[in-house]
A and B are shown apart, each in its own frame.
Chain A
């Protein structure tokens, strides 16, 4: 027998369990780890110190072994800066560790452009679009890393339509010329740290849901350091003089030994709404080139 409808508009949940955005950050100390990860800044400072004496597990080639399943411990995709818990945000501390005030060093015109971006465009993840090299690392919560002597392959499960990154480690040159969503990465070893430099990005994604952005001339350098057997100290430095007053760096932890990752086909649920968005003139953030950024900056300054 069909149940009688019981429809009530409530100001609070009828049940006691947390709703989206109401539980706040669940970041915290992982048992047995040398560094807590409930604050990006505190984790970063601790990890820099821990790396001095770390003896990470090694590959047969004697390099730090990043193979395995990883969970990222970051809340940067809503905002790179500290942001409060709201019904629409999980909230979290700033991911920015340099500068130490935790603020993204944006040029004035870019602050205004970010606000416009957040109002005007759909976030790329609604369209299952890739998030760029660093964005992939903080947009995606679960990864499998596969490593051999010449490559590190990162396969992600969640968001941004099954992101994967293939990082050559054998010193080959950048591809060049072809702009790509996740760019053209090359890895090199600096001691026990894997340094990945990415060029040739199309920059057609926002850095966060506050509309922050880069141009296709941005240079992103990531650093992966095992500070203990199962913790990566991850850092990403964004350098784009078109948009920012200086380079800035975010940092957070990856923890190893989470369960396997599975298929998550982003298009399953999101493809139909996107057809309607587009049919009604809605657009996903299109990105801007360095040249466009300079023109927009000049126009903004002329209008002041």
Chain B
């Protein structure tokens, strides 16, 4: 079950969608995320939710001033990730990974991944792919 602070963060991120563009955001993902830009973040996994239609990771990074930032990383569906070979063992709590993805349109700490580079250098693709949708 999602922890309280995670729920708050998810709700805040979803709220950012309200100010997004509409006419050029065909996919629901693009309503909330700027698909013309990329952001790369390195940090530690706090939690990974294997849910549909968008799996979700909670992720802590250290900001430039030393503060801890909680990021939410959204992926394609848990089903798609599993079919690609993603497993829970790839993403243990506490592991350090780097995620590249589309930033939330309002600048909140949320990404739609993109690629995920594991500590051993393995790269897993977590975004939407033709043929799966």
Contacts and interface: CB of A to CB of B under 8 A. Distances in A.
Q: Are A and B bound to each other?
A: yes
Interface of A: 2-15, 17-21, 23-27, 75, 78, 87-90, 115, 118-120, 122-123, 125-126, 141, 157-159, 209-210, 259, 262-266, 268-270, 272-273, 276-277, 280, 282
A158 B79 contact: yes
Interface in B86-133: 96, 98, 100, 102-103, 112, 114-115, 117, 123, 125, 127-133
B10 interface: yes
Given A7-B61, A266-B52, A20 B29 contact: yes
A268 B27 contact: no
Nearest to B75: A269
Contact of B52 (A2, A78, A209, A269): A269
B56 A269 contact: yes
Contacts of B100: 10, 13-15
Contacts of B18: 276-277, 280, 282
Contacts of A7: 39-41, 61, 64
B27 A88 contact: yes
B14 A273 contact: yes
Given A11-B38, A266-B53, A277-B18, A126 B28 contact: yes
B52 A20 contact: no
A273 B53 CA distance: 13
A276 B54 CA distance: 17
Nearest to B28: A126
Contacts of A141: 131-133
When A and B form their complex, which 6 residue pairs have the shortest distance between CB atoms, in order from nearest? A273-B14, A87-B35, A5-B61, A126-B28, A268-B51, A209-B26
B127 A19 contact: yes
Contact of A269 (B11, B17, B51): B51
18 contacts: A3-B44, A5-B64, A11-B37, A12-B38, A20-B35, A20-B127, A89-B27, A122-B31, A158-B132, A159-B53, A209-B27, A264-B52, A264-B77, A270-B54, A276-B17, A277-B17, A277-B18, A282-B18
Given A26-B131, A88-B25, A5 B38 contact: no
A12 B60 CA distance: 24
Given A25-B130, A87-B36, A88-B25, A5 B62 contact: yes
Contacts of B62: 2-5
A9 B103 CA distance: 9
Contact of A270 (B37, B53, B117): B53
B26 A119 contact: no
Contacts of B14: 272-273, 276
Contact of B98 (A6, A10, A259): A6
A78 to B, nearest CB: 6
Contacts of A273: 14, 17, 32
B60 to A, nearest CB: 7
A242 to B, nearest CB: 24
B28 A125 contact: yes
Contacts of A14: 38, 40, 98, 100, 115
A158 B130 contact: no
Interface in B28-77: 28-32, 35-44, 51-56, 60-64, 68-69, 74, 77
Contact of B77 (A3, A158, A259): A158
Contacts of B125: 17-18
B35 A21 contact: yes
